Amino acid sequence: MKPPIIFAAVAGILVLAFGIYMIDIDQTEEIRLPDVDVSVESGQLPEFDAEVGDIETGTEELTVTVPTVDIQSPEEDASDGS
């Protein structure tokens, strides 16, 4: 390995170790959600009118001629030449 890569890896490990072991965070107060009283009336979603173009699709049957490929492995070449 190249020395810059090794140096970068060691530096990254040291930064990670510093972050894990040198910082201590303690929770000092428990969470409490607010009390909420809500009165709600029914809402309404917006309506949209859209005019879009028509797309016609269909299928068509085609016959395609596919070339054949003959592949011989080196073992087959050796057995054919004997």
Is 82 a residue whose pLDDT tops 60?
no
Segment 27-37 shows an average pLDDT of 86
Segment 65-76 shows an average pLDDT of 84
Give the integer Cα–Cα distance in Å for 68 and 72.
13
Is 5 a residue whose pLDDT tops 80?
yes
Chain segment 36-70, per-residue pLDDT in tens: 888 888 888 888 888 878 888 899 999 999 999 88
pLDDT at 24: 75
The DSSP secondary structure of 9-40, one letter per residue, reads HHHHHHHHHHHHHS------S---PPP-----
